[in-house]
Structure 1
Amino acid sequence: MQTPSHSIASGARTAVRRRFLLASLLASLLASTGLFATPSHAQTSAEAAPRGTAIVIGGALKYDNDAVWKRIVDEAGGPGARFAVFATAAANPERSAGQIIEALQRQGARAEHIPVAPRLAGSDVAAAVRDPALLAKVNAAQGVFFSGGAQELIVDSLQPGGQPTPMLEAIWALYRRGGVVAGTSAGAAIMSSTMFRDAQDSLKVLKGQLRRGQEVDRGLGFVGPHLFIDQHFLKRGRIGRLLPLMQAEGYRLGLGVEENSAAVIKGEALEVIGARGVLLVDLSEARRDARLPAFNIRGVRLSFLDRGDRHHLGRGETTPSAAKRAGLKIDPRAPDFKPFVTQQPFLMDMLGDNTIANAMAQLIDSPFPEVLGLAFAGPRAVPVSASASAASATGSEPDSELGFEFRLYKGPDSLAWFTGALGGEDYTVLNLRLDVQPVRVQQPFYKAISPTP
C-alpha cells in the first residue's frame, strides 16, 4: 500500500502560508502585549495534536543537497516561509547559523538566527530564552532549524533540569499548529524523548556504559515518545549503541538516519530523502537471555529504507521508491530467485562504516540463510600514557576480551528491491532478523607466521 506524497501542491502551499501568517500575526500581537500565554509542558508533549512535520537529518548535510533543503522549505509552505535558525549546539554559532540561513534562502525561505547559544560571544542564554522580541520571531515563523554540534547544549539551554523554557514552548506551539521542526546531527538527536547525550564509543555502550546524564539524557520529543532517533548512523556504525539503549529504555521502534540523508516524519508517515537512507529497527518481537552476563538480544527486525521509500510507522507498511519498483524485486523464497552474491562473508567489524547496511544487501541477494560478524576491540584499542593504570599498561581496554557476535539472518517475510538507475547499486531491504550475543575474543586475535629457516 502506497502512502500519500508529503509534497504540497502550489495552491495548498499558498493556503498554508496564509494560515501561518494569520496565526503568526495574532501570536506576535499577543506576545507584544504580554498576554501571550504559552501552554503547559503537558500540553506540549509529543502526543499533542495537531502535529507538524519533523525533518530528521542524519548529520553532515551538504549545502548543495537541494533535495533536503528544498523539502524543508516546501513543508513550511514554500518560498517566503519564515524560519527561525538555532545554532545552539554549534562550536561557532555565527558561522553555522549563517551557512544554514544561506541554504534556506537559496530555496526561497526567509530565515533568521535566534541567538540562543552558550558558545556565542556575549550570550546570556537564560535571558534569551525569555526575550519577548526573540519569542515573537519564533511565533511568526513557520519552521525551526536546529544545527549540528553538541546536543546537550540544545537540551540544557531550552529545557534546563527537564523544565521547558518559554522559547521551547514557542517552538512547540509552532510545531502544533502545523509547522516544521528540522534538525541535523545534534538537531536530530533531540527529536526523540530520550537521546544520546555523549556516547561516541558504541562498543562501550554495548559493554554496558549507559548512564543517565552522561551517555543518555532527555530529548525534546518532537517525534513522539515511542520512536528513538540516532544520527550519523551507518557511517559511524551506531547499531552497537542503538540496540542497548532501545532495550534499556523500552523502545519498540528506532530509526538510525544516515549522513546527508533525512527522514520526513508527519504523524506516522515517514519518507526518506537525500543521499542515502535510514535503518528501521523493530524490537516488538525481540527478547534477551537474563542468564548471560552482558548485553544480548534476539529477534531484532531490521529494514533498510533508501531514498524515496515511504513507510507507515503504525501499520508497518513500506512502499519502495518508484525507481525500486521499476527495478528488481528480490524474494529469496521465489522459485526464480537468482542470487547475485555467491560467497558468504564473515564481517570482522560490524560497527564499521556502513557495514550493517552492506551486510543486509549481501545477505538478501545471496543463497545463504545468515551472515556472521564480530564487534570487539583489539589489544591496542586504548593508547598507553604515563598515567595509564596497570590494567591498561599493555594498551588494552578493560575487559578487552569481551566481544559480540552479530548474526544477521533471513526471516519468512524478508525481501528487497534493487535498482541501478540512480548510478549505484541501491537496495531497499525489509524484515531481516538480527541476534547479538556476547563472546570472548582471544588475545592476540592472530599471530604472525614466522619465516621457515
Structure 2
Amino acid sequence: MESTKGRGKLVIIGGAEDKEGDCKILREFVRAAGGTDAKIAILTAATSEPRESGEDYIRVFERLGVEEVTVLNTIHKDDGDDPKNLEILENATGAFFTGGDQARILEYIKGTKLDSLLHQRHKEGMVIGGTSAGAAMMPDLMIVEGDSETNPRMDAIEMGEGMGFIHSVVIDQHFAQRGRLGRLVSALLQQPANLGFGIDEDTAMIVDGDELTVVGRGAVTVVDESDATYNNLDELLKDEAMAVCGVKLHILPQGFRFNLKTRKPISLEISKKEAESPVLQTA
C-alpha cells in the first residue's frame, strides 16, 4: 500500500454523523483543518439537493467556530474547471464531500482541473473529509452500488473508478446498519486490494500517514484477506456464492488505531499508554 505520510488527513465518515449535538466527528475534521482558522470548502457534487445540503453543513461548521465556509457547486461538468471554484479550493485548508450518490462525484469532478487541484492540495497538507458517498469515493476503486444483507456473491456489487485519495483498499459505509459485510467481502475478493474497511454510521476513520484512528459512536470493521488460504473465484459463475478461508477480521471502536503498513490493530490500552508516556528528551 502506498504511504499517505506527509499528506493531509483523510476524515472518512460512514454517514449519518451527528450534526446537532457534540458533533464529535465534524469537530475533529474542523480541528484537523485548522480549528477556528480553518477555511472549509463544501463539495456538494454527490447530492441532488446541493443548496439544502450545503446550507446544512455551513450551519454546522459555523456553529463549531469556523468563519470561512464556502459551498463549491459542481452541478455541471464544466464547473470542475471554473476559475472561481479553483480559487476557493486553492485557499481552503479543508475540503468536505457531502453524501448522496458517489457516481455523481466521479461524473462532475473526475478528470477536471478541480480533481487535479484536490490531489495537489491534499499532498500539500489540506484535509479531505467525506461522509457516506463522500466516503465511498475515497479509494482508487469504489463500490458504485451493491446488495446489502447478502452473503458474498460474484454479482453482489458493481465497482467503478474512485477518486484515489487512498490506495489499495475498499471502503463501505452505513456498514452495520445495512448489513454490508457480504458486499464488502465480495468487492474485496474481486479487486486488486486486500484490505476492506466497513464504517458504521456516526463513525469515522481518520487517516494520518500510515495509521488510522476510529472516532464516533460505532465501529470500523477491517477485513484483511492478504493471508487468505483459499477462495473459489476460479470456479464460480456470475450469480454463485463465494467461499474464502483464512481471512482476518478486526472490529475497532472509538480510540482504536490500525497501521496500514503492518496491517495490525493498535488497542485502546496501548494508545492510552503512549499518550501517558513522557516525551524522551535528547541532549
What is the CA distance between 1:266 and its match in structure 2? Answer: 1.5
Partner residue, 2:73: 115
Find the aligned partners of 2:244 and 2:77 in 1 and give their Cα distance. 43
The alignment partner of 2:81 has SS state of: coil
Residue 135 of structure 2, aligned match among 167, 188, 191: 188
Partner residue, 1:154: 105
Distance 1:105 1:254, change over 3 A: same
Partner residue, 2:279: none
What is the CA distance between 1:48 and its match in structure 2? Answer: 7.9
Does the Cα contact within 8 Å between 1:65 and 1:274 map onto a contact in 2?
Answer: no
Distance 1:322 1:66, change over 3 A: farther
Matched, 1:78 2:20: no
Partner residue, 1:142: 93
Partner residue, 1:400: none
Find the aligned partners of 1:51 and 1:277 in 2 and give their Cα distance. 25
The alignment partner of 2:201 has SS state of: coil
What is the CA distance between 1:91 and its match in structure 2? Answer: 2.6
Q: Which has the higher contact order (CA 8 A, sep 6+)?
A: 2
How many residue pairs get aligned? The number is 265
What is the CA distance between 1:58 and its match in structure 2? Answer: 0.1
Partner residue, 1:232: 174
The amino acid across from 2:15 in the alignment is: G
Partner residue, 1:170: 117
What is the CA distance between 1:325 and its match in structure 2? Answer: 6.9
Partner residue, 2:184: 242
Q: TM-score, normalised by structure 1?
A: 0.55
Residue 105 of structure 1, aligned match among 62, 71, 80: 62
CA RMSD, Structure 1 to Structure 2 (Å): 2.2
What is the CA distance between 1:283 and its match in structure 2? Answer: 0.3
What is the CA distance between 1:94 and its match in structure 2? Answer: 0.6
Output aligned runs, 1:201-350, within 5 Å.
201=148, 203=150, 206-209=152-155, 215-224=158-167, 226-286=168-228, 287-289=230-232, 290-291=234-235, 294=240, 295-322=242-269
Structure with more helix by fraction: 2
Distance 1:210 1:200, change over 3 A: closer
The amino acid across from 1:116 in the alignment is: T
Which has the larger displacement, 267-276 or 314-323?
314-323
What is the CA distance between 1:202 and its match in structure 2? Answer: 5.0
Contiguous gaps of at least 5 residues in structure 1:
1-45, 118-124, 327-453
Does the Cα contact within 8 Å between 1:49 and 1:176 map onto a contact in 2?
Answer: no
The percent identity for this pair of structures is 29
What is the CA distance between 1:209 and its match in structure 2? Answer: 1.5
The amino acid across from 1:186 in the alignment is: A
What is the CA distance between 1:65 and its match in structure 2? Answer: 4.4
Find the aligned partners of 1:269 and 1:48 in 2 and give their Cα distance. 9
Q: TM-score, normalised by structure 2?
A: 0.87
Find the aligned partners of 1:94 and 1:75 in 2 and give their Cα distance. 25
Partner residue, 2:18: 62
Partner residue, 2:276: none
Find the aligned partners of 1:272 and 1:253 in 2 and give their Cα distance. 16
Partner residue, 1:92: 49
Distance 1:202 1:156, change over 3 A: farther
Find the aligned partners of 1:92 and 1:256 in 2 and give their Cα distance. 26
The amino acid across from 2:70 in the alignment is: E
The alignment partner of 1:197 has SS state of: strand
Does the Cα contact within 8 Å between 1:81 and 1:108 map onto a contact in 2?
Answer: no
Find the aligned partners of 1:72 and 1:319 in 2 and give their Cα distance. 22
